[in-house]
Structure 1
């Protein structure tokens, strides 16, 4: 007698699997590649099957936003607003490092998601604990977010630049400060640079006059 064939086990399609596939697609090919059809192809399913879990692309983008910033919800609440701010900015930077394309989508699109609202609420609550309200508080949050994301781009650009100029001879008569600081300039340490800049930000924020803005 012939043996019965092994049953084909198919992974159950869920919203979580769909969102994960969308994030993977974004990180491999960039935002322009994201579509419901592309996500369906990524999962090896018919595109119509996605709509049972994600009704449209806007809902898919909401899921991407939730996925990318999920780690920020795990940042612990602490007594000192400075320490908590540092931890939150570090977590935001880590998310931008791990999911650069997805983060770009989150920051550049108007996504109706509680993820963005939770992040804004947490950040503004921190600003309020530090004594800031209104426009000043919002600008502080914007500046810290810009620094967290921008530091990733700066580290990448600087690393590529140093790879090209490490062996170039520099005229000490024309560029005395560059030559004098050559060792420090070539000692590329993105983490130390980030922490130094973050301390500068926190100190500058703490020095601002309190008020409504």
Structure 2
């Protein structure tokens, strides 16, 4: 007797879509491919999401919902450190979402509640509304940029074979220094985050 297939739900559809986007990129996500992955026809998916645009919006909400926003009562600096570290981890898993988050902005209940929670931590700590807005923008710009560079490094070929080391003396020197000092992306992230948090401290 064939095993019973779990019922098709909106959550199951979104999670399957996320797996495709994470592994193959957002361009690889089509309703036909998603239906095939779930063992159903593409038409049956429309009972749960009206179109691909709504699907992507739901996927972004799922990504944002994974980012840790400590509740009020935690010190603002610790809260922002935890949020930034969590965002780096989550967006590193779902790097296809980076450009879309900027493109689509903060819309929808999940993203709006996320923004409100972050602002609440900063305002409770004594930031003015203007300072809180600047802090939010600066921190997200740093995290997004860092994740983009990490993703780029992962995708970069170990040896492109295009230019000899003798033609790139400064880059060769940098590479040697990074190898010698055991350059760490984790340390660079922590160092950059500390600089930003020191700069925005309202105290």
Q: Same fold (TM over 0.5)?
A: yes
Residue pair 1:62, 1:111 contacting (<8 A) in 2 also: no
Structure 1 gap ranges (5+):
1-5
Q: Quote the residue 2:188 is aligned against.
A: 193
- Does 2:12 align with 1:12? no
Instruction: Give matches, 1:93-112, under 5 Å.
Output: 93-110=88-105, 112=107
Note the aligned Cα RMSD (angstroms): 3.2
Q: Distance in 2 between matches of 1:185 and 1:170?
A: 21
Q: Deviations over 1:129-170 (max 9, x none)?
A: 3333344322221111111121122335567889559x9469
Structure 2 gap ranges (5+):
none
Normalised to the residue count of structure 2, the TM-score between the two structures is: 0.79
Q: Quote the residue 2:63 is aligned against.
A: 68
Q: For the pair shown, which has the larger CA radius of gyration, 1 or 2?
A: 1
Q: 1:185 to 1:154 in 2, by over 3 A?
A: farther
Q: Distance in 2 between matches of 1:40 and 1:131?
A: 50
Residue pair 1:21, 1:39 contacting (<8 A) in 2 also: yes
Instruction: Give matches, 1:137-156, under 5 Å.
Output: 137-156=132-151
Q: Distance in 2 between matches of 1:100 and 1:161?
A: 15
- Does 2:19 align with 1:24? yes
Count the aligned residue pairs.
197
- Does 2:78 align with 1:90? no
Normalised to the residue count of structure 1, the TM-score between the two structures is: 0.76
Q: Quote the residue 1:3 is aligned against.
A: none
